[in-house]
Amino acid sequence: MSTPLEALAHFEIKGAINSVALFGGGHINDTYHVQTSEGDFLIQKVNTQVFRTPEVLEANLTGLFTERSEILVPHVKTKKGQWLLHLQNDVWKMQVFDKDVYAPALATQLDVVHEIGKGFGKFTALSKVYDVSNFEETIPNFHNLKWRLEELDQAIKNNPARRVAEVKRLIDKAKKFNWISEKMEDLVKSGLPPRLCHNDTKIDNILLTKGSNEFKFVIDLDTVGPGYVLYDFGDMMRTLLSPTKENELDESKVQLRVDYLEKIHQAFLNESEHMLSPLEKTSLIFGGLYMTYMIAIRFLADFINGDTYYKVSFPEENMIRARNQFRLLELMEDWSDSHQN
């Protein structure tokens, strides 16, 4: 195993290193904040149990950074000119840390919501610049709901951590929403076009300028690859519309803030409408249901499997996360039933 300090020696940075400290709350990779005499950086140990083909990640990052884009957070290359460092079975990557910006944890103001919609809308509009067929999924089947449902079935069948009985109510809910998977298949058959997607448009994967709250960068480019625009719009809905954290203990606090939905919809379309097909536009809101359902399924399957994928800070965390996603999904379904027909 290598340390961040060992890894740092292989990246193209000049200043003396003053400090290295664990940073942020990602569920998958380990991230460290590095202070040097010539500026700050983040260095990240990529979880290779999750990202099993780092060469695909390297190729996608190379493809992305062939274009100069002001909205992508600048990354730092290794001294050998690569985006990823392979060191003692570990894989590291590095990016600039701008002290004038911050990642919002929860949205509490409409102007922040607007800037998040704008940022991911700009990312979607990059689809015009890149040929999606040059990108590959860094995690196969990442947003393939049918495959995620099969994984859940497998987890229930094997019941490796003997937790199935505890989540019977959530398993029943999961079955009720099977129609989402069928609707997605219909949309694809009807001609939904593949696009370059971010595939992890969580609220805290946007950086805003401190003070003005203006959009600055899109971060966390690990899952950038082919997808459908509704994935990216949908994950924004999932992480923005409720005032709660994913692991909120009080389920009744999960809510659907319709004014926030209107705001992201408008801000996202302002940036991307010119390149979206009519089918893409009409399916954006469905993306919220699709992504919320899929993450609910993933948290639930991971709980049943004994927390082998997502980091947990208490034993029931994945069950609580799944429960909250199902609650949000029910609220989204009620809302879209009453507004779209």
Distance CA(151)–CA(341), nearest Å, equals 32
Report the nearest approach of ligand GN1 to the CB of residue 273 (Å): 25
Distance CA(338)–CA(334), nearest Å, equals 6
The residues pairing with 78 across neighbouring beta strands, listed in sequence order, are 11
The most distant pair of C-alpha atoms in the chain lies apart, rounded to whole Å, by 61
Q: How many CB atoms lie within 10 A of CB 97?
A: 17
Distance CA(265)–CA(271), nearest Å, equals 10
Judge contact between 39 and 15, C-beta under 8 A. yes
Q: If contact means CB under 5 to 8 A according to the sort of partner, which of Mg ion, ligand GN1, none does residue 27 touch? A: ligand GN1
Report the nearest approach of ligand GN1 to the CB of residue 173 (Å): 18
Q: Does 254 bind ligand GN1 (CB under 6 A)?
A: no
Tokens at residue 341, please?
A: 């027909």
- Report the residue number, 36 or 53, with the smaller CB distance to Mg ion: 53
* Nearest in space to 75 (alpha carbons), one of 52, 99, 58: 58
H or E stretch covering 99: none
Q: Does 296 bind ligand GN1 (CB under 6 A)?
A: no
Report the nearest approach of ligand GN1 to the CB of residue 184 (Å): 17
With CB under 6 A as the rule, give the number of residues binding ligand GN1.
9
Q: Does 28 bind ligand GN1 (CB under 6 A)?
A: yes
- Report the residue number, 115 or 220, with the smaller CB distance to ligand GN1: 220
Distance CA(113)–CA(107), nearest Å, equals 6
At CA 265, angle to CA 244 and CA 144, rounded to 5?
70
Q: Does 307 bind ligand GN1 (CB under 6 A)?
A: no
Q: Which position among 26, 39, 54, 243 is part of the footprint of ligand GN1 (CB under 6 A)?
A: 26
Q: If contact means CB under 5 to 8 A according to the sort of partner, which of ligand GN1, Mg ion, none does residue 295 touch? A: ligand GN1
Distance CA(30)–CA(178), nearest Å, equals 34
SS3 41: strand
Touching ligand GN1, residues 166-205 (CB under 6 A): 200
What track of x and - describes contact with Mg ion for positions 172 through 211 (by CB under 5 A)?
Answer: ----------------------------x-----------
Q: Does 10 bind ligand GN1 (CB under 6 A)?
A: no
* Nearest in space to 93 (alpha carbons), one of 27, 46, 41: 46
Touching ligand GN1, residues 205-224 (CB under 6 A): 220, 223
Q: Which position among 90, 220, 246, 271 is part of the footprint of Mg ion (CB under 5 A)?
A: 220
Q: Which position among 10, 27, 183, 245 is part of the footprint of ligand GN1 (CB under 6 A)?
A: 27
Which positions lie near ligand GN1, rule CB under 6 A?
26-28, 50, 200, 220, 223, 246, 295
